[in-house]
Structure 1
Amino acid sequence: MKLKHIALAALMATASAASAEVKIALDGAPDPEVSGTYNWVMGFSEVLEKAGMKVREMPRDSVGNEAEKFDQLSTGLLELSLSDVRAIAQVDPFIYGLRLPYMFDDAAHMQRALADGSIFDRVNEAVADQDVMLLAIVPIGPSSGIITTDAAVRTPADMADLRMRALDDAQIALYKAWGSTGTVVPWGEVPAGLQTGVIDGYLNSPFVPISFGQTDFVKNFSDSRTIIPIRAVIASKMWYDGLSDAERSAVTEAIAAGNAATQAWLDEVSSTSLEALEEKGVTVQRLTDEERGAFRERSKQVYDSGLMPSDDVKVWTDLSDATR
């Protein structure tokens, strides 16, 4: 018997899918001061708990790496996970449009595009065979900037001699467009890479060096506002399909509450996050619109790099323009 069938039988043996724990695999420290995703979890969990659904938070990496979490979701052994968007993109690369540089002005703009473009319906149709569902896209924090150990970056030329940590080929293409170089480094190896000089920096939200304790060796942040740093909330389809109508209604309400909690937090910290970095001894380069525009102009090369089909790029750019 296939593992999925075994897992499904175990779920059906319970009185209700929701009567058991709803386990949520976290992506970082459970700290609402520096984590947009944890604010989402708190807003989401509060609604579920009121509906009688017990929520259990699983610490980062406690249930395995990204691939292992995806397998557990698809077999019904894990109910929800705050996952890397690549977990969805490996099945449907269309979602990578969210990571095109300067696609969205801010997180609220991104959420409007997701809703108006019926993106969740499109993605969930594509991933249905994997027995998972995309429930939400959640910002980790304010828009990403250029984080470095030593170099102060205000122009693409300032990056010429830097080797940057990349998530994937798309970010390597972005760094190339800026005149720099990128190399894929797993997140767990980033601190050592920064301290040994294997890499000079990376692209992420301003709270990330704080929440991961990197401000002893990360000393510069450039407010380039390149992309919205995000995580994908992925659910087990077996779990969701086993919910009653009332329980599904509670999940829908909980998703909205989580989204609202994260947006309220972003509204509060979008400016203070830079001050928080400075309090930790990190120098912040507050770019002018003109300086930021130089990065934006060079970033357009990524749209035509072949990393995404041109038709998909057009869908995203049209949607972005229509919801701006």
Structure 2
Amino acid sequence: MQSNSLSTVVRRLCLSFCLLGGLTSGAPALAATTINLSYNGTSDAEKNPVHLFAENFKRLAEEKSGGNLQIKLYPNSMLGEEEQRMEQVMTSPGLNIASFGGIAPLFEEIYVSAIPFMFKDAAAAHEFFDKGSYWQSAKAEFAKRTNTELLAVVEEGGFLNFTNNKQPIKSPKDFKGLRFRAMDPSQIALYESFGASGTPIPWTELYMGLRTGVVDGQMNPTSYIIMGSLYQVQKYLTLANIQYSDQFLVANGEMLADMSETDRRALTEAAQEATVLNRQAIAVAQEKDLEFLAANGMQIIQPDVDDLKAFREAAQPSYIEWLKKQNIDQHWIDKALQDVGLGL
């Protein structure tokens, strides 16, 4: 018992030292708390919505704490790739914005939030994450498993939508025989439910894969279609609201516990307000993105209500079957579907 108590004391002393940025001779007794925030992507707020979130979060946290909190930004995976950054935020003070690639190895149930065609629009997705029982339970379970807290769902570009270079896709039957780039096995299951096939291709190789015909199409938010210049090698864009495109702000649990109530409130309120600002910015950007893509030769297809229903009815059973194969308990699926008024 003494050993465990001493370990706890030492860990908390180290935590306090790290948060204060260390003490140097001649430094003031009470220094500002510097917290590292790491994430993927460029440090260009116009091209990378995650960086836009980080900039706003930094500004708000520093303002709300009266300068007691200082957020240091590390874009472009400067502190490591997904797995490394998650390990860091689990074991030491800091913040990380993680994609599904960072969250899923620790909490596979996160894939439930990506059930295809679950949200009719952005407002429905926001309601799901702001008030839904699935997300409240997910945050609690994730904290239990990882000693971290999920502080925000960071919108990174609206919804994923289909593109391809063969033919307009308006309904599931238009997929037959096409080859699509997939990011993970769940997307392969999605394409197969439409009669297409999925091939894993890294983002860095996607442009050439589309250009050379290794695959016919892919799915991404409009911001990524522009960022990757995919409009140069794709002709058709289908606005199907496939999956909500998001990442997750993760905070070390002991860091939060050791903060003053004032600083902790400043951090959580900053996360909430930066989330709202990102949503507003992306809603405006969506219109501009579509105008840009149309002006650069893409044909934009908007499925009607019946077509969207057909997409959902074809894709959701296959995706949910894939979730079950990952040993994800049915109660997580039920919670999510109930939150959005669906049932299978």
Aligned counterpart, 2:283: 267
Offset, 1:292: 2.9
Aligned counterpart, 2:162: 146
Deviating more after overlay: 82-91 vs 246-255: 82-91
Are the equivalent residues in 1 in contact too, given 2:148–2:250 (CA < 8 A)? yes
Aligned counterpart, 1:317: 337
Are the equivalent residues in 2 in contact too, given 1:97–1:316 (CA < 8 A)? yes
Matched, 1:232 2:245: no
Offset, 1:304: 4.1
Measure the CA separation in 2 of the matches of 1:66 and 1:8: 26
Are the equivalent residues in 2 in contact too, given 1:141–1:207 (CA < 8 A)? yes
TM-score normalised by the chain length of structure 1: 0.87
Deviating more after overlay: 248-257 vs 163-172: 163-172
Aligned counterpart, 1:280: 296
Aligned counterpart, 2:54: 41
Aligned residue identity for 1:71 = E
Aligned residue identity for 1:158 = D
Deviating more after overlay: 134-143 vs 247-256: 134-143
Aligned residue identity for 1:80 = L
What is the 5 A alignment of 1:1-324? 10-14=14-18, 16=20, 19-50=32-63, 51=65, 52=67, 53-76=69-92, 79-127=94-142, 128-308=144-324, 309-321=329-341
Offset, 1:302: 2.6
Offset, 1:215: 3.1
Are the equivalent residues in 1 in contact too, given 2:19–2:34 (CA < 8 A)? no
Larger radius of gyration: 2
Secondary structure of the corresponding residue to residue 251 of structure 2: strand
Aligned residue identity for 1:145 = N
Of structures 1 and 2, the one scoring higher in RCO (CA 8 A, sep 6+) is 1
Deviating more after overlay: 272-281 vs 166-175: 272-281
Are the equivalent residues in 2 in contact too, given 1:124–1:133 (CA < 8 A)? yes
Are the equivalent residues in 1 in contact too, given 2:119–2:241 (CA < 8 A)? no
Aligned residue identity for 1:11 = L
When residues 33 and 92 of structure 1 are mapped into structure 2, their CA distance, relative to the original with a 3 A threshold, is same
Deviating more after overlay: 303-312 vs 65-74: 303-312
Offset, 1:290: 3.1
How many pairs are equivalent? 319
Measure the CA separation in 2 of the matches of 1:60 and 1:15: 23
Deviating more after overlay: 88-97 vs 121-130: 121-130
Offset, 1:56: 2.1
| Stretches of structure 1 lacking an aligned partner (at least 5 in a row) | none
Offset, 1:180: 0.6
Q: What is the percent sequence identity of the aligned residues?
A: 24
Offset, 1:210: 1.0
Are the equivalent residues in 2 in contact too, given 1:16–1:243 (CA < 8 A)? no
Measure the CA separation in 2 of the matches of 1:118 and 1:101: 19
TM-score normalised by the chain length of structure 2: 0.82
| Stretches of structure 2 lacking an aligned partner (at least 5 in a row) | 1-6, 22-30
Secondary structure of the corresponding residue to residue 333 of structure 2: helix
Secondary structure of the corresponding residue to residue 140 of structure 1: strand
Measure the CA separation in 1 of the matches of 2:197 and 2:12: 46
Offset, 1:11: 2.9
Kindly provide the CA deviation profile for residues 157-208 of structure 1, in whole angstroms up to 9, marking residues without a partner as x: 3222222122222211111111111123333332332233222222111111
Deviating more after overlay: 217-226 vs 175-184: 217-226
Secondary structure of the corresponding residue to residue 146 of structure 1: strand
Offset, 1:263: 1.9
Measure the CA separation in 2 of the matches of 1:303 and 1:227: 12
